[in-house]
Chain A
Amino acid sequence: MEHSELSPAVLFSLGPVHVTSTIVTSWGIILGLWLASSLLCRRLRLTPGPVQTAAEGVLGAVEEAIRAVAPDHARLLLPFIGTLWIFLVVANLSGLLPGVHSPTRDLSATAALAILVFLSVHWFGIRSQGLKPYLRHYLTPSPLLLPFHLISEVTRTVALAVRLFGNIMSLEMAALLILLVAGFLAPVPILMLHIIEALVQAYIFGMLALIYIAGGLQSQQQRHTPQGERDE
């Protein structure tokens, strides 16, 4: 199977399933996070050490960010949003390792994550309000807006996938081009930019996912909230 810098290489196939470097890198990330979590949580103490303090700090920061957007559903959304942020940070930064491509430079991976966000919005919305009340919000404030709602659902999901893919892929491509043109160590500044961009993109993706999910959760609630209370 042919591959270019824009499409990841297929490492092996299991019948119709082609396992690409993106999948293998993702497995590596998952394995690393699992091992790190297992090692960390095996030594949890009430008086935390530096590593546990850092882990609790990460968890606390994620929980606080979720609580700021969806105060009543912080515990419910934490596993999904937290995992999204952690995975995206690690996946985006993994491209800095020599010989490793970031999974998020693959449109299939970012599309998968975007689809998961899309599905999560509906899953949490229906779970919170019920099917009919949730679907009814597509008809508000007027049924005429239904097509726009549907287009919005699709475009924002596509935007999520393409934004992350475009940024990470372009960074890696820029670094590769500079390496080819200018030589060894020349792309170091662009790699520094890669770190910042990786963190920013992970934050944007996670925060947008959170906002979409919180919007789905609170759509029916907002419809029933009086105008005065909303202004407050």
Chain B
Amino acid sequence: MELSWSTFLLEIVNFLVLVWLLKRFFYKPLQAVISRRQKGIESRLAEAGKAQAEARDLKQQYEQRLENWKEEARQARDKLQRDIHAERQKLQKELEDSLQKQREQAEIVQQRQQHELRRQMEQQAMEQGSQFAAKLLQQGAGPELQQRLLDLLLGSLEELTEAQRRPLREQMQETAAVVEIVSAFPLEGPQRQDLEEALRDVLQQDYPYHYIEDPKLLSGLRITVGPWQLGASVRDELHAFVKLAQAAQ
């Protein structure tokens, strides 16, 4: 084990040469490649950062847009709800009006039905009353009553005005009809004479008189001159009373 100065010096030179060689052919090229790669990575990182920032901006824009859409949707929903509420109220009011109208119509119909029912009942009551009165009067009717009714008839004929008599006359002249006299009981001679005189006075002319008996009149008589009819019987009076009562309703 001895120190060789030649080896010592040559080894120093060898090592320094190796340092230079490795620096020239190993470290620098590798460091350059690593540096280039690092620059590339940094560049890509910068691009990625830029892309990320753009993506973030886009995300923010989309989020803002989404928020706007949500707000618009909320406003539209509110408006729709308001419209629906208004429409519901309108329909409800229309329905209420319709129901009210139907109710009123039903009330009117009901009132009419009641009125009609009442009218029918009254009419029925009148007719029954009339039948009852007729039945009652039938028992009390007789020639005396007929005489009194004849007197009333004669009085009525006398009270006819000229304006009322003229159409009668004209009608009789045109039709040349028969004067038909219906009585409940047979008319006596004087009764017939009084009656014919009164009629002659009204018609100003003689016509054939045709006498008929009809017990349905109960009492009194009915004179038919063409289309004109003059009643003075219990039956006609009762009918007239019933019609008058119905007309009064």
Contacts and interface: CB of A to CB of B under 8 A. Distances in A.
Nearest to B9: A112
B23 to A, nearest CB: 4
A172 interface: no
Given A23-B7, A44-B30, 13 more contacts: A20-B4, A33-B21, A41-B30, A52-B33, A55-B30, A59-B26, A79-B23, A79-B27, A108-B4, A109-B7, A109-B11, A112-B12, A115-B12
A79 B19 contact: yes
B34 A56 contact: yes
A41 B25 contact: yes
A136 B129 CA distance: 158
A189 interface: no
Contact of A44 (B5, B11, B23, B29): B29
Given A20-B6, A46-B36, A108 B25 contact: no
B31 to A, nearest CB: 7
Nearest to B37: A46
Contacts of A195: none
Contact of B30 (A6, A27, A59, A87): A59
Nearest to B14: A26
Nearest to A47: B37
5 contacts: A26-B14, A30-B21, A44-B29, A48-B33, A52-B33
Main SS class of interface, B: helix
Interface string B183-220: 00000000000000000000000000000000000000
A78 B34 CA distance: 15
A19 B12 contact: no
A18 B30 CA distance: 37
Interface in A1-36: 6-8, 16-20, 22-23, 26-27, 29-30, 33-34
B18 interface: yes
A116 B12 contact: yes
Interface in A76-91: 78-80, 82-84, 86-87
B27 A82 contact: yes
A227 interface: no
Contact of A37 (B1, B4, B25, B40): B25
Nearest to A21: B7
B198 to A, nearest CB: 149
Contacts of B3: 107-108, 111
Contact of B22 (A33, A108, A115): A33
B38 to A, nearest CB: 10
A69 B4 CA distance: 34
Contacts of B33: 44-46, 48, 52, 56
A111 B8 contact: yes
B22 to A, nearest CB: 5
A8 B1 CA distance: 9
A103 interface: yes
A40 interface: yes
A142 interface: no
A86 B31 contact: no
A225 interface: no
Contacts of B12: 112, 115-116
Interface string A133-170: 00000000000000000000000000000000000010
Contacts of A115: 8, 12
A186 B195 CA distance: 184
